């Protein structure tokens, strides 16, 4: 029998927490959403969900020997070494979770350039950091609120650009860094600056189940898993495979998803009414709606997609004044979308 630690709790066995699960899945389908921040008390399946989702995804093609795991079918995002190779061997890998410790330094995160080697030999020598390992994977930061603000900025920049660039004394190096950024935190232990929270594409607040039946089911499943991890995981295998196929199909369908001018105007009107700063909210909401449409097997954004997107992309961007609630709560936003004309 496998060691219990090597058998992960199945993603499809997680009870409740639908918003968290949806946000994670949408980011897997479309990493350009900009990651997800999950805020909540301890014991609410935050880290369990992150690790379990990576296990759902099946094998994938990688260029053999590439330290960034470049995709042989996506030359636009090949590293410098893969571009220079005339012939490329292909191997099989899997998406994995790369952990970033809160004590990580900038060099540990972005990697380093060996300046002495460059001066002696006239060529670059790059020592990969965590962002190199994160390419095409999930970059998981537990207690992200305890991470240095500058490091959080670096992560969010790389997540937005899909590239990690290092420059030292006039020498520069870039490599692909397309990853799904997932940060988790317990608000009781301190918060992130509003400017940093805004840069996360989606934010979800989670709490322990308050429904008696749901709470009892959480305990029941956990005890079943601990008693027989392999058997418990096997009982969810079919459901996990269906989710895997749904995600893969959504990734293919995403490029075909369209939206109407009326849909675009509605998103813009909501952003103005909510008094959000800048345009990040509009862009993220529309991207999220398109990704949700693909996940549900459609090529046209609907009001349903906009409501789902609003729930995930707007709460942390609602402008609040001291001792006042936001200008509009999420129920009002959903109502505003439903009352709008044809989109």
Active site residues: 280
CA atoms of 137 and 179, how far apart (whole Å): 5
CA atoms of 15 and 43, how far apart (whole Å): 13
CA atoms of 242 and 190, how far apart (whole Å): 38
CA atoms of 40 and 266, how far apart (whole Å): 31
User: Which of 128, 131, 129 is closest to 156 using CA atoms?
Assistant: 131
> In the beta sheet, which residues pair with residue 91?
62
Within its chain, how far is the Cα of 272 from the centroid? 27
Q: What is the dihedral of CA 195, 295, 50, 280, to 10 degrees?
A: -10
Structure tokens at 204: 């979800």
> In the beta sheet, which residues pair with residue 62?
91
User: Which of 109, 147, 154, 151 is closest to 127 using CA atoms?
Assistant: 109
Structure tokens at 284: 């993220």
Q: Where are the alpha helices (DSSP H) in the chain?
A: 18-29, 46-56, 80-84, 106-110, 115-121, 130-134, 149-161, 194-199, 212-227, 229-235, 237-253, 261-274, 280-295, 303-313, 330-339
């Amino acid at each position: 029998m496998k060691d219990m630690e090597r058998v992960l709790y199945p993603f499809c066995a997680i009870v409740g927490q639908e918003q968290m699960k949806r946000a994670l899945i949408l980011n897997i389908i479309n990493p350009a959403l900009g990651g997800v921040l999950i805020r909540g008390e301890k014991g609410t399946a935050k880290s369990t969900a992150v690790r379990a989702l990576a296990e759902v995804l099946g094998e994938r093609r990688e260029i053999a020997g590439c330290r960034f795991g470049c995709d042989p079918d996506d030359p636009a995002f090949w590293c410098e070494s893969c571009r220079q190779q005339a012939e490329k061997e292909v191997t099989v890998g899997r998406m994995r979770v790369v952990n970033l410790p809160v004590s990580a330094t900038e060099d540990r995160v972005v990697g380093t350039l060996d300046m002495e080697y460059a001066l002696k030999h006239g060529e670059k020598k790059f020592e990969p950091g965590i962002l190199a390992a994160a390419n095409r994977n999930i970059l998981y930061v537990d207690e992200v609120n305890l991470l240095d603000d500058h490091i959080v900025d670096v992560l969010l920049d790389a997540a937005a650009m899909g590239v990690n660039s290092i420059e030292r004394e006039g020498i520069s190096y870039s490599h692909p860094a397309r990853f799904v950024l997932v940060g988790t935190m317990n608000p009781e232990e301190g918060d992130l600056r509003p400017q940093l929270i805004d840069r996360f594409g989606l934010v979800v607040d989670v709490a322990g189940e308050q429904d008696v039946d749901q709470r009892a089911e959480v305990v029941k499943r956990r005890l079943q898993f601990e008693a027989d991890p392999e058997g418990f995981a096997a009982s969810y295998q079919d459901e996990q495979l269906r989710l895997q196929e749904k995600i893969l199909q959504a990734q293919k369908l995403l490029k075909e998803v369209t939206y109407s001018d009326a849909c675009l105007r509605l998103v813009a009107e909501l952003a103005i009414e909510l008094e959000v700063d800048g345009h990040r909210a509009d862009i993220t909401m529309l991207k999220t709606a398109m990704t949700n449409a693909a996940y549900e097997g459609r090529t046209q954004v609907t009001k349903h997609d906009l409501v789902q997107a609003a729930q995930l992309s707007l709460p942390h961007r609602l402008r609040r004044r001291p001792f006042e609630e936001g200008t509009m709560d999420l129920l009002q936003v959903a109502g505003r979308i439903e009352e709008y004309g044809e989109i």
